[in-house]
Structure 1
Amino acid sequence: MTALADMTDIVVRKDQVRVAEAEATAALDRVVGQPAVPARARLRFGPGRTCEQLARVLDEAIVRAQEAGLDTDVLVLSGATAVAAEDIVRVRRKAHGVADWISSKTSDVTIVLRPRGVVASRSVPVEAPAPAAEPRPRDDRPETGAELAVREALYDVIDPDLGVNVVDLGFVRRVRLDDAGVATITMTLTSAACPLTDVMEIQVKHEMDAIDTEFRVEWEWLPTWKPADITDDGREQLRAIGFSAF
């Protein structure tokens, strides 16, 4: 999340809020122009349809306003946008050890708070989030023998949530060795919001130390990972531990 303040405005943006764009836009339309504290209460408690996820974003904006020395009683929610963002894919555990994938819609949400006396005097520009960067050109040449050896070592890196190695899960996109023998391992995860990047890099380091190879991990989020990226062996392993989505 980023937050910026000029002389009067508090502008807060939070990425990948777990609410669909249409739902978020409809909820924000009901409260834009209202005082900030009552707007938060309406998002949280009604009347009408509520949206706790947006109420939490407004919570953060109100706290920012307080930290900036603004009187929250006179603040108005003067502008807001919601733009569809990348879905978050995660595991859904069911009864008897069965599991499958669940995909959650998300939105990048921007809201603007402004003191009441300023709102009527000028419009509030609310910038939509910048478009996602285009994926870099793919290096699709076959991996060399040394690169395949690095990939082979990565079969021992296990996703702690799924219990399957990162290669068969489709998380390892490319392995490239430079002239000095340093491996660049291009990886992804189920979502850019996944908190496991540090855990994965620690496991990768352990395996690269075992084969005496220097490395760096480059995280690549576009194109987004899909369950279709899982290998046939990976699907068999997931079925064996209770996944039903294959």
Structure 2
Amino acid sequence: MTTAAVLTVHEQQLRVPAAEARAALESVRGLAAIQAVAKLRLGPGRTCEPLARLIDKALARAGLGPEQLVVVGGEAREGEDIVRVRRKAHGKADWISSPTSDVRLSLEPAGLHGLPGKLAPEPARLEDLPPTAPKPGPPDARARAVREALYEVIDPDLGVNIVDLGFVRHVQVDDDGAAAITMTLTSAACPLTRVMEDQIRTVLLEGTGGLVRDFRIEWSWLPAWRPADISEDGREQLRAIGFTHF
């Protein structure tokens, strides 16, 4: 944000292809937020409900009426696909990939829009985007032991352990015996985060004879999980229970 008057909202995985998001942004540039939302939801022309919801999010943050803000800019880039499971008949399953966009949207008060000499919002820069997950360093013996214990944690939806599924990105144990586990799931919207935490608590604090004093999970959604993250052992387990594509 370059001035206090410019409001920027950022969504890393807006559920719309980037080309559609760019076209929708261009179609509402210069419109009051109330007009932009109406056009994106009701037309005329192609609608874009995800972008309309992003404007709603900006309005909620601003605390101003939708007639008081104008859409002044934005950009859309290709986002990480959201991957989820599709169950089919006879125990078969495969993956569904949904394209997303990394979208930034800028609005400003209607009274300032078009005034000469005012600062324009800078375009989003790559370095402004959140960093990806930390790169794992060489694990020590305790971290290896924790990672080994996590093979006992089974994803209830897929029936395979979370390590072979590629959900465990990094394990670190500090000098006080507390484990920090960087994890992901098939998408940030996955409802299983609490289930995973409960299973890990059981495995690490109850089932290992005090392997660690405590633990915390740091959820990491960038880069997004992909089927390519599954280990070869995990692929064999998935094939055995009916998955045909991954």
For residue 28 of structure 1, give the secondary structure of its aligned residue in structure 2. Answer: helix
For the residues of structure 2 that align with 1:4 and 1:191, how far apart are their CA atoms?
32
SS at match of 1:83: strand
Q: Please, which runs of 5 or more residues in structure 1 have no aligned partner?
A: none
Contact 1:80-1:126 at 8 Å conserved across structures: no
Tell me what 2:9 maps to: 12
Q: Structure 2: how far apart are the matches of 1:60 and 1:134?
A: 24
Instruction: Please report how far the alpha carbon of residue 208 of structure 1 lies from its aligned counterpart in structure 2 after TM superposition.
Output: 0.8
Aligned partner letter, 1:139:
G
SS of 1:151 mapped into structure 2: helix
Q: Partners of 1:241 and 1:14 in 2: how far apart?
A: 36
> What does residue 62 of structure 1 align with?
59
Tell me which residue corresponds to 1:112: 106
Give the structure 1 partner of residue 238 of structure 2: 238
Q: Identify unmatched segments of 5+ residues in structure 2.
A: none
- Alignment partner of 1:23 out of 20, 30, 33: 20
Shift in alpha-carbon separation, 1:15–1:4, aligned structure 2, 3 A: farther
Taking structure 1 as the reference length, what is the TM-score of the superposition?
A: 0.79
Which residue of the partner structure matches residue 41 of structure 1? 38
Q: Partner of 1:13: helix, strand, or coil?
A: strand
User: Residues 104-150 of structure 1, C-alpha deviation per residue, up to 9 Å, x if partnerless?
Assistant: 22223222333333211035305426234255444256x64x65543
Letter in 2 for 1:18: R
The answer to whether the 8 Å contact 1:83/1:128 transfers is no
Instruction: Give the counterpart letter for 1:15 in structure 2.
Output: Q
Indicate if the aligned counterparts of 1:110 and 1:126 stay in contact, CA closer than 8 A.
no
In structure 1, the partner of 2:196 is 200
Percent identity between the two aligned chains: 54
Q: How many residues align?
A: 238
SS at match of 1:158: coil
CA distance in 2, matches of 1:106, 1:39: 21
Asked whether 1:156 is paired with 2:159, we answer: no
